[in-house]
Amino acid sequence: GAVVSQHPSWVICKSGTSVKIECRSLDFQATTMFWYRQFPKQSLMLMATSNEGSKATYEQGVEKDKFLINHASLTLSTLTVTSAHPEDSSFYICSASGTTIYGYTFGSGTRLTVV
Amino acid sequence: AQSVTQPDIHITVSEGASLELRCNYSYGATPYLFWYVQSPGQGLQLLLKYFSGDTLVQGIKGFEAEFKRSQSSFNLRKPSVHWSDAAEYFCAVGNSGGSNYKLTFGKGTLLTVNP
């Protein structure tokens, strides 16, 4: 079945630095990838939608200059949190879809802690 | 705009008991509906989905859900709960029209299973 690998599973970074999170589709071509943010004991909030080779579409209230999304290939999308601050600490999850509508597979998530 | 309500934040059941998790949605047309399960610190796993056809949907791990248009509901059920079912459960609704395939998630229901 469809497998999405997300790396790293957890990361600790210093305030002011940038951190990159990778989302890879291992056995299918992901034409669309979604990035979510999840606060403790809360639901998933969609941050942005990215289509391979196109600029990402960000949800209202999400800073595109802070959360840089790249989807340069059909198997890889990256989320870079730039100039991270403690309030950016959260659980970030990606999901990927191929040609099947709503064939979403989720990654295992990345726990980001900014100190 | 589409929305999902999961009325129960936390449910506790005994192992072997039956389970029903409630989900109500708001959407102008026939929605695409999903149930996901999330273990602590993990990504989301799809339990089942409804697009069209038979309103009783069978999923993995012995779960089923029934789409009731008149009640705008898509409740998740399992006849006999196992301790390994303890997790967070999310209901989600997707746009059935156009090219916007975003998912909107409910706030989740935490399931605790007592031995």
| CB distance B106 to A44 below 8 Å | no
Mutate to test the interface with B, among A33, A38, A42 (most CBs of B within 10 A): A38
Mean pLDDT of chain B, nearest integer: 91
B30-80 tens-digit pLDDT: 788 999 999 988 889 999 999 889 999 999 999 999 999 999 999 999 999
Residue B99 in this model has a pLDDT that exceeds 60: no
The model's confidence at residue B86, banded by pLDDT at 50, 70 and 90, is very high
A35-82 tens-digit pLDDT: 999 988 788 999 999 888 888 999 999 999 999 999 888 899 999 999
Cα B102 to its chain centre, rounded Å, is: 16
In chain A, what residues touch B3 (CB-CB under 8 Å)? Answer: none
Q: Which residue has the tokens 């979604």?
A: A34
A110 Cα to chain B: minimum distance (Å): 8
B45-52: list long-range contacts, CB under 8 Å, 24+ apart. Answer: B45/A106, B46/A104, B46/A105, B46/A106, B47/B76, B47/B89, B48/B76, B49/A102, B50/B74, B51/A102, B51/B96
- What does DSSP assign to residue A56? P
B100 Cα to chain A: minimum distance (Å): 10
